Amino acid sequence: MKNEKFYNHLAPIYDTMISFDNSLVKRAEFFRKLLSDYPIITAADLGCGSGVDAVALAQLGIHVTAFDPSGEMLRLAKQRVKAHNRRVSFLKKTIAAIPAKFNVTFDAAFAFGNTFANISPAELEVSIAKIHSLLKPDGLLIFQLINYAPRKREKDRVVAFKDAGEEAMIRFYEVSSEALTFHFLQVNKKKVSESIHLKTILYPHTPQFMNKILAKHGFTLLHTFGGITFEPYDKNDSKDFVAVVKKTSL
């Protein structure tokens, strides 16, 4: 389950770490190209975070319902949607806890960023079963996974460093045989004792593990990519694993 404390703290300072507008341009282009062959009208944004996927999908005229267990991330996502003059529905829920009233509602579900990486293997299987129930017949699940192999080779990896005047912010991975630990360090340069160190577990689900669960719960693989620029997936070097799967009969 997503570490609510971790993401609630990140939400107010999200802009200092990641450019929402740059991410939006890239994600919107990916969705535009990917969905050109699919008649998507309704979509679920699972683990919506800052709202970049919700806005990108809404820009395509899709009716989006966004879910996230972090109240602060939902507040940020709502601000993004309003700023871009779009309409999205929001609900504070984990995937597994989405109410049954949403069953057979969506043409597609999207799980990007660390949505699946925040979920333990046991809970992920429950979540995949829930996603199957949310989708209409032949509905699509489009998701992104961290590719664990390159990060495992690198051991410890700094993701980003930001010098923000009186503060410095560092994001980095710590790698073990079982998981990635994602650290966020906010250093108060004038009073180090008031610095903040937060961390959360990211589960390194492999494509093989995902394919097994997806097949078990009624999904068929359609496409795979090594990222949102449509490059082929390379298990040794790709940064991410992106897949498009279709709901079939159980």
pLDDT of residue 202: 86
| Structural domain span for residue 240 | 4-146+205-247
Strands in 42-46's sheet, in edge-to-edge order, are: 88-91, 63-67, 42-46, 106-111, 135-146, 240-247, 219-225
Burial 65-90, CB ≥16 within 10 A → b, else e: bbbbbbebbbebbbebbeebebebeb
Do 126 and 165 share a domain, yes or no?
no
pLDDT of residue 168: 85
Do 16 and 89 share a domain, yes or no?
yes
pLDDT digits 0-9 by tens, 167-183: 888 888 888 767 788 88
Secondary structure, 3-state, 38-56: CCCCEEEEECCCCCHHHHH
pLDDT of residue 9: 65
Do 89 and 50 share a domain, yes or no?
yes
pLDDT of residue 178: 72
Do 117 and 132 share a domain, yes or no?
yes
pLDDT of residue 190: 84
**Last-in-domain residue among 183, 202, 221:** 202
Its pTM stands at: 0.88
Do 78 and 181 share a domain, yes or no?
no
**Last-in-domain residue among 166, 186, 202:** 202
**Last-in-domain residue among 187, 202, 217:** 202
Do 224 and 158 share a domain, yes or no?
no
Residue ranges in the chain modelled with pLDDT below 70: 1-5, 9-18, 154-156, 177, 250
Do 182 and 157 share a domain, yes or no?
yes
Do 230 and 139 share a domain, yes or no?
yes
pLDDT of residue 17: 64
Do 104 and 131 share a domain, yes or no?
yes
Do 45 and 110 share a domain, yes or no?
yes
Do 163 and 232 share a domain, yes or no?
no
- Residue 125, domain CATH: 3.40.50.150
The number of domains in the chain is: 2
Do 115 and 231 share a domain, yes or no?
yes
